[in-house]
A = this chain, B = another copy of it.
Amino acid sequence: MKKFVYLFKEADGKNKALFGGKGANLADMTNLGMPVPQGFIITTEACNQYYRDGRMINDVITAQIRQKLDALEKMTGKKFGDVNNPLLVSVRSGARVSMPGMMDTILNLGLNDEVVVGLANLTGNERFAYDSYRRFIQMFSDVVMQQDKSKYERILDKIKTEKKVQDLTADDLKEIVKLFKDLYKKSQGEDFPQEPQTQLIEAVKAVFRSWDNDRANVYRRMHDIPYEWGTAVNVQSMVFGNMGDESGTGVAFSRNPATGENVFYGEYLMNAQGEDVVAGIRTPLPISTLEKQNPKVYKQFYDIAKKLEKHNKDMQDMEFTIENGKLYMLQTRNGKRTAKAALKIAVDLVSEKLITEKEALMMIDPKQLDALLHPQFDNAALKKAKVIAEALPASPGAACGKICFTAERAKELGGKKGKVVLVRLETSPEDIEGMAASQGILTARGGMTSHAAVVARGMGTACVAGCSDIKFAADEKSFTLGGKKYKEGDVISFDGSTGKIYDGEVKTEPAKISGEFATIMAWADKYRKLQVRTNADNPADAKNAFNFGAEGVGLCRTEHMFFDAERIPAVREMIVSTTVEERKKALAKLLPMQKKDFKGIYKAMQGKAVTIRFLDPPLHEFLPHEDAEIKTLAKEMGLTFDRLKQTVSDLHEFNPMMGHRGLRLAVTYPEIAEMQTQAVIEAAIEVSKAEGYEIVPEIMIPLSCDSKEFKYVRDIVAAKADEVIAKKGASMHYKIGTMIEIPRAAVTADEIAKSAEFFSFGTNDLTQMTYGFSRDDAAKFLSVYYSKKIFESDPFARLDQNGVGKLVKMAAELGRTTRPDIKLGICGEHGGDPSSIEFCHNIGLTYVSCSPYRVPIARLAAAQANIKNPRK
């Protein structure tokens, strides 16, 4: 029979897939002889079995749970449900990777009307016993029975108000327990379960169920965690931080998770349970205080922390409880950290000889670097800015945006739509999507380990926490700070590195790569084989990317230049032309402008390769579609309304994505490709001459689907290029290649490679064509696909290796059969996504090209890919 349940001491600390991260670490600590309250792990396989059985825990698993419970009773000498010496347990989720706050936890399980009396007698602390019982009822009702928790909160508030105290007496708590049990019965239609075995099985089910709740699903999609991993459940005997003033609980990091400094860092609360620290309701004390308060316990904890750090070769994030002066380790894990801290810790661990350079590179999540690449506050602007408050610097970065008070509103107005900051009393797991859409998060309550702080650091989003100066209006639709009233839409700025909050907008400046960041990048360059280029359409972007280490431009989209207000008249003139001569006349006006752009980009890239893609979008994109606008434009262009309207309607397409665009335009209007060729070649000749670079222009023809089609356009371009070179008396090599972004191009790549000198995979369009859905339209139905688990990740963000990737791989192989040295790149958005970069490395591409801000991410991801799977 399959083993679904393991005691901590039976489990393998290396096998996180089976035991989850928390379980594996508890096993590890047990085996290292550390003071861990004992317990057992119900494996991730049991979770998957639960779902396969239709959300039921089958008899085999139930029996194994009983069996391990017996063993636990023997180990602890306590008994589940025993009045004289009761065993109480916590039930916690523990997935393969940490998903903080996403799933459910139940504490104090095993209490009932009789056991609570026994516990009071045993501890001589009636207040503690009833406080534990009321917490348990509340958690069980909320987490296991999914009742409305605010009703319980309201009872608690009511009693507190009546008694006019914060700290309730044992009698108060007894009354509360009674009221809670009444409410439970009213809500549930039955009494609060008194049988501890029943409580346990229901709690385990609840944890399994929470693997599939909405916020867990969103979190997994954001972090590429497969649904099929499942979660383990950890059942651990309870120790009590709320047993009186000799008890307490806390969390600590072995190094500073915000800066990476090698100093012990954390918070604790005496006479409290873990939830009180994490929820951020009471403001905890810094860990340094413990050194004074209880030096023995502090020393023991400190030693354990250092030992764990050495054992796990990484900074540790630990939870502990002190029960009547005795230390217990509840959890350890590699700690989440800011990007800045991640870099410093990695570099420090190498200096400390704990890890190698390669291991250092592997321990940094490339996506996290994003946080360091975005603008910081401009120093000059900062000096002039008005500081209105200062609070905890919970997650670094500069944030500036319009105030939103709810996550929903932030989702509506933020993200790609605009810059918003989320200002909240405190955040909760439901807020995760709104947090992701914000530039930064500002909370009035909670500390450095509050929900807002932990999640913001994980996301690389700026966060200032615990700003108690913020006074919210009763309707929570405005607040006052620094004597001023702020309402939705007002702009504030704050700095997650300093904790300072500023009135209004503060100017920002681009990020720089220096210090540990530069060290890590240098190591990455040393170990990677894949080149990293950038997508840049103008000299400014090119310069930015160059500074971030781009080794060339992989995609310069020329149409972006066409949309410029100064140029679009000539573009439109070209479109309404009815003869080749008219069209050439209009194109002649565009020539000097295009040339100027290209010269700027060549200069910015200082002689590195620049791949210029020829005109791609359908021509109707350059014309208005509403009658009123057509009327205005017709007047401007000296045309009749009917004439222009006719052009617009002639250009109308049923499926523009699959219409007259890309090289199809060059087939119909070769003169457009000729003008662009002239601009590219002349620009390259002139910059080469002026700067002494040896530029080899790369001309990229978009949207090929056929070898003859590509060759037709290639020949036109080559003829024009040769003509321009000859006319200028220059000697210049150039390359002509194509985008592979249509399935047919991928499957006929061997034929296309006969005349194409390079391929660049345009995986945005290739994904659309391969899946047969357009990005614009798919958003509507893909949300259903996510909620039904048909798709687990967004194929536009993460390359679909099963389908689209198969075509990319096939095309790469076919291309190389014809032309073994063919240059292969990728220039879709996937070029900046680490998992897709790993795929590109594995199939032997030459380079990836991504947006300037993703260049350092790609450099690191490429190094990681080569460390995992070295390329010969």
Interface residues of A (CB under 8 A from B): 653-660, 664, 667-668, 703, 705-706, 708-709, 712, 741-744, 747-748, 751, 765, 768-774, 776-778, 780-781, 784-785, 788-791, 800, 802-804, 806-807
Contacts and interface: CB of A to CB of B under 8 A. Distances in A.
A575 to B, nearest CB: 14
Which of A742, A743, A765 gathers the greatest number of chain B CB atoms within 10 Å?
Answer: A743
Contact of A771 (B656, B744, B788): B744
Contact of A658 (B658, B744, B785): B658
Given A658-B773, A744-B804, 7 more contacts: A667-B781, A709-B790, A712-B790, A742-B771, A743-B769, A744-B800, A748-B802
A748 B810 CA distance: 13
B774 A654 contact: yes
Contacts of A742: 770-772
A657 to B, nearest CB: 4
A419 B80 CA distance: 89
Contact of A788 (B655, B667, B770, B785): B667
B747 A777 contact: no
A483 to B, nearest CB: 46
Nearest to A767: B744
A655 B791 CA distance: 21
Given A667-B790, A771-B744, A785-B709, A658 B660 contact: no
A657 B660 contact: no
26 contacts: A653-B776, A654-B656, A654-B774, A654-B776, A655-B657, A655-B658, A655-B774, A655-B777, A656-B777, A657-B658, A658-B773, A658-B778, A659-B774, A667-B784, A667-B785, A667-B790, A668-B781, A705-B771, A706-B791, A708-B789, A741-B772, A743-B772, A743-B803, A748-B803, A748-B806, A769-B769
A792 to B, nearest CB: 9
A790 B752 CA distance: 13
A769 B766 CA distance: 10
Complex copy number for this chain: 2
Contacts of A765: 772
Contacts of A748: 802-803, 806
Contacts of A654: 656-657, 774, 776-777
Nearest to A652: B777
Contacts of A667: 781, 784-785, 788, 790
A781 B656 CA distance: 13
Given A706-B790, A706-B791, A743-B743, A655 B776 contact: yes
A285 B667 CA distance: 52
Nearest to A713: B790
Contact of A806 (B747, B781, B789, B791): B747
A777 B706 contact: no
Q: State the 5 A-B residue pairs at the shortest beta-carbon distance, nearest first.
A: A742-B772, A744-B803, A655-B774, A658-B774, A743-B743
A772 B662 CA distance: 11
Contacts of A660: 777, 780-781
A796 to B, nearest CB: 13
Contacts of A653: 774, 776-777
A754 to B, nearest CB: 13
Contacts of A780: 660
A535 B770 CA distance: 26
A807 B747 contact: yes
A768 B781 CA distance: 21
Contacts of A791: 706, 708-709
Given A668-B784, A777-B653, A772 B703 contact: yes
Contacts of A703: 772
Contacts of A807: 743, 747
A660 B785 CA distance: 12
A375 B655 CA distance: 37
Contacts of A706: 790-791, 803
Contacts of A744: 770-772, 800, 803-804
Contacts of A770: 705, 742-744, 747, 769
Nearest to A664: B781
A804 B667 CA distance: 22
A540 B744 CA distance: 38
A774 B806 CA distance: 24
A818 B91 CA distance: 43
Nearest to A654: B776
